[in-house]
Amino acid sequence: MINLSADERLPLYQRLRDHLAARIAARDWLPGDLIPSEGELAALHSISVGTVRKAIDRLVSEGLLDRQQGRGTYVRRARFNSSLFRFFRFQSESGERKVPESRILRREVMPAPSAAASALRIAEGAPVIHLSRLRMIDGEPLLSEEIWLERARFATLLDLPTDTFGDLLYPLYEDRCGQMVATAEETLTVEVSNSMQARLLKRDAGDPLIVIERVAFDPDRQPIEWRRSRGPADRFRYHVEIR
């Protein structure tokens, strides 16, 4: 039997949820893996199957797990197709969505600026990796991104040539740094572009930009990445359902 160590005042299913989330975060099970069956988990922790079900229900609704009747319960593969598809429309919507091309413009280690430090919950001035990146579709620039990562977690990124990063960062984080993005929070605002941003995005200075600030969390709810992306507002479109 394995102990659920967390705060005893919390309900059992909550503690099991946290325990499972931690095991996923620790890459005990990788995305796509089958986790133990409900019965096995119940026996393992000496709790009832109903309680295990409730913990798993939570993780499914949080998007970490995926049930399949008759087969079992899987760790879900992270599929953040990036903010691009949620927030921007493309004229070239001819059928399939393409993954936008990415170009890393800059990579440096620096002391964490205060906004990045507070988003990542680390000390101001602690060493971070800063990336500048431009994302394009059909050669047209759509997002200019500034990305901050705690150096301790992502040191292996520094050994890799930036032109081998590929078009998506999150798979790179998983493969190279063992860091998995599970959820994220984004805040959108509108800004007027300065001349540098305008040049990057091939717009005119003074044109409106959408600014997307994102904090990405691992399955343990620790913030691991902070980024600020800017894209031309004329391409922006966002749809919500409210209830």
Interface positions with DNA (CB under 7 A)? 11-14, 35, 37-40, 46-51, 53-54, 67-73
Verify binding: residue 65, a second copy, rule CB under 8 A.
Answer: no
Residue with tokens 């990305």: 147
Q: Which is nearer to DNA, 20 or 119 (CB)?
A: 20
Residue from 49, 192, 196, 205 binding a second copy (CB under 8 A): 192
Say how far residue 27 (Cα) sits from the centre of its chain.
16
Q: Which is nearer to DNA, 51 or 197 (CB)?
A: 51
Exposed/middle/buried for 36, CB within 10 Å: 0-12, 13-18, 19+? middle
Verify binding: residue 205, a second copy, rule CB under 8 A.
Answer: no
Q: Which is nearer to a second copy, 124 or 185 (CB)?
A: 185
* DSSP per position, 116-144: HHHHHTS-TT-EEEEEEEEEEETTEEEEE
> Which of positions 146-185 make contact with a second copy (CB under 8 A)?
182-185
Verify binding: residue 22, a second copy, rule CB under 8 A.
Answer: no
Least separation in angstroms between residue 42's CB and DNA is 7
Distance CA 211, CA 144 (A): 10
Least separation in angstroms between residue 91's CB and DNA is 34
Q: Are 237 and 212 in contact (CB under 8 A)?
A: no
Q: Which amino acid is at 53?
A: R
Verify binding: residue 204, a second copy, rule CB under 8 A.
Answer: no
Nearest to 188 by CA among 78, 83, 81: 83
Least separation in angstroms between residue 125's CB and a second copy is 27
